[in-house]
Amino acid sequence: MLDVRDAEDALNVQTGDFAALLAPYLEIIHQRCLIAVRDGQGEDVAQNVYLRLLREHQAGRRYRVPYRVVVHKVVEWTIKAHFQGLPADVPLPDDFELAGYEGGVGEVDDEDELAQWFANLPAGERRVCELRYLHGLEPDEIAGELGMTRNAVDQRLFHARKRLREIIGGG
Q: What is the pLDDT of residue 97?
A: 45
Same domain, 116 and 36: no
pLDDT mean over 28-44: 83
pLDDT grade, residue 131 (50/70/90)? confident
Same domain, 74 and 11: yes
pLDDT grade, residue 5 (50/70/90)? confident
Kindly report the CATH number assigned to the domain that includes residue 82: 1.10.1740
Cα separation, 72 vs 70, whole angstroms: 5
Give the residue among 114, 122, 127, 88 at the shortest CA–CA distance from 31. 114
Same domain, 99 and 21: yes
pLDDT grade, residue 148 (50/70/90)? very high
**How far is Cα of residue 163 from the mean position of the Cα atoms in its chain?**
17
Task: Residue 140: give the domain boundaries.
Answer: 111-168
Which of 54, 78, 107 is where one domain is finished?
Answer: 107
Same domain, 123 and 69: no
Q: Is the pTM of this model over 0.95?
A: no
Amino acid at position 68, single letter: R
Q: How many domains does the chain have?
A: 2
Same domain, 148 and 96: no
pLDDT tens for each residue of 78-120: 888 877 765 555 554 454 443 333 433 333 356 667 777 788 8
Residue 87 Cα distances to 44, 165, 166, angstroms:
13, 21, 23
Amino acid at position 134, single letter: L
Which of 63, 79, 107 is where one domain is finished?
Answer: 107
Same domain, 90 and 138: no
- For residue 57, pLDDT over 60 is answered with yes
Q: What percent of the chain has pLDDT over 70?
A: 79
Kindly report the CATH number assigned to the domain that includes residue 139: 1.10.10.10
